Amino acid sequence: MNPESKSNSTNLSIKTEYTSSISTKLSPPGSPISYTHSLNFSYRTSDLHNFYILTPWIALLLVFIPLGYVAYANHWGGTWIFVLNFLAIIPLAILFEYATDDISLRFGQPAGDLLVVTFSNTVEIIISTTALKVGQIQVVQASILGSIILNLLLVLGISFTRGGISSKTQKFNQIAAQTNSNLMALACIALIIPAAFASSLKTPDDYNEKLLYFSYGTAIVLLIIYVLYLVFQLKTHSHIFQRGRKEIEKPKLPLVISLILLTTVTIAVAFSEFLVGSIEEVVDTFGISRTFIGLIILPIVNKSSHLLHTLSAAAEDEIDLDFTISLAAGSSMHIAFFVSPLLVILGWITGKEMTLFFQVFETIILFISVMMTNYLVQNGESNWLKGALFLATYIIVAIAFFFYPNIPIKPLRKNT
């Protein structure tokens, strides 16, 4: 198909022109002044795609925000509270991401992409902090791994599969993808070593104290690596992360409105304690594990905007692999090198036993996901079969954790 015809088919234009100007020709005093008004309004379907927060189903999901509060206030039961607040957070995450995207257009690349990646995990940080506050360590740890796995397997799987259907082979920025993959390998190492470290400790006292302090030290190292990565991405090697844009996008909202939207949504997401507080009742009612809720269900809420963007781009056949890989890998890196150590340090400050020691099964799953991603992106090309491998792996992981037993975490301190 001719590129021009494809563009015309996806960017239909509806133009209404109404001329507007003021004619000030010399005329005799007292004679009427003639006015000619001109207004040029152009609307494209691609604008609607970008401004998807106005779609009817997103507006419908906003109804669940007050319903979630009503369910909690009137004690409708844990299941109803969980489901209604789960649905309520989805439009909030989408609104937050939209405002972030709009603000990021005011910056150049790769600063704009970094801003999107950084703020895209705000909803997750709020929910994880809430869970940490009430002692749901298992849910917090599973949510960290789940968001990384969803980004690497599900988001990339959808993009590679849809892009491979349209063209046999697609190219992407191999150096940037490989850099992110190498850093994710380090994140794996940072989670595998605590498991090996814990297994080598024999006495409870050693296990209790040394594992905690080992996690605190590792968290600080990961934060330092994250800062070094920012310098690498924004300063010394920014050219690696540059990607071309088909057209120059402009912000659609005034900066003040975007900031107000971000603030409002952040306050609204703070009510996620209703969702977190109902997890125990859902676990008891349906017999599913906390790990499954944290690793599969909560990341769908946290990354709902990523999924929507990916599915929308796939439906319109407008997959931009460089952007998708930047978003998925960048978000995973931000979680591994900023969110997880931040939560460990917050646990340190608040007296919660949040560590980087994950269950062995969870650590193996993360290792498999990162290694598979590293292997499939190393040649800088994608096809639909690679996408199918990503999706198949994610489905197998979801099935495995659905049947995963509820194994409580042993307290590390004696007086807790």
Asked if residue 219 lies in contact with residue 349, where contact means CB atoms within 8 angstroms, the answer is no
The tens digit of pLDDT for each residue in 212-246 reads: 888 899 999 999 998 888 888 777 877 777 665 55
The gap from C-alpha 78 to its chain's centroid, in whole angstroms, comes to: 26
Contacts by 229-236, CB closer than 8 A, 24 or more apart: 229/183, 229/333, 229/337, 230/114, 233/110, 233/114, 234/110, 234/111, 234/114
Stated as kind and residue range, the H or E segment containing 38 is strand 35-44
pLDDT of residue 13: 36
DSSP state letters, 119-181: HHTHHHHHHHHHHHHTT-HHHHHHHHHHHHHIIIIIIHHHHHHHHHHHSS-EE--HHHHHHHH
- Measured from the Cβ of residue 389, the count of other Cβ atoms closer than 10 Å reads 17
pLDDT of residue 161: 86
pLDDT of residue 36: 40
Question: Encoding tokens for residue 218?
Answer: 């590792």
pLDDT of residue 205: 57
The gap from C-alpha 227 to its chain's centroid, in whole angstroms, comes to: 20
Asked if residue 302 lies in contact with residue 129, where contact means CB atoms within 8 angstroms, the answer is no
* Interatomic CA distance for residues 347 and 387, integer angstroms: 37
**Cα angle: 223, vertex 262, 116; to 5 degrees:** 45
Radius of gyration of the chain (CA): 24
Given a cut of 70, the residues of the chain with pLDDT beneath it are: 1-55, 57, 108-111, 113, 117, 201-208, 242-249, 314, 317-318, 408-416
Instruction: Region of 48 please: left (phi>0), alpha (psi -120 to 50) or beta.
Output: alpha
User: Within 13 A of 388's CA, how many CA atoms are on the CB side?
Assistant: 5
Asked if residue 238 lies in contact with residue 110, where contact means CB atoms within 8 angstroms, the answer is yes
Q: Which amino acid type is present at position 47?
A: D
Q: At what angle do helices 255-269 and 78-104 cross, to 10 degrees?
A: 160
Show the domains of the chain with their CATH numbers: 56-403 (1.20.1420.30)
* Interatomic CA distance for residues 307 and 274, integer angstroms: 24
pLDDT of residue 344: 92
pLDDT of residue 55: 64
- Continuous H helices in 270-383: 273-277, 279-286, 290-292, 298-302, 304-315, 321-334, 340-350, 360-376
pLDDT of residue 10: 36
pLDDT of residue 40: 36
Say what the pTM is.
0.77
Name residue, tokens 């600063």.
Answer: 111
Name residue, tokens 């906003």.
Answer: 62
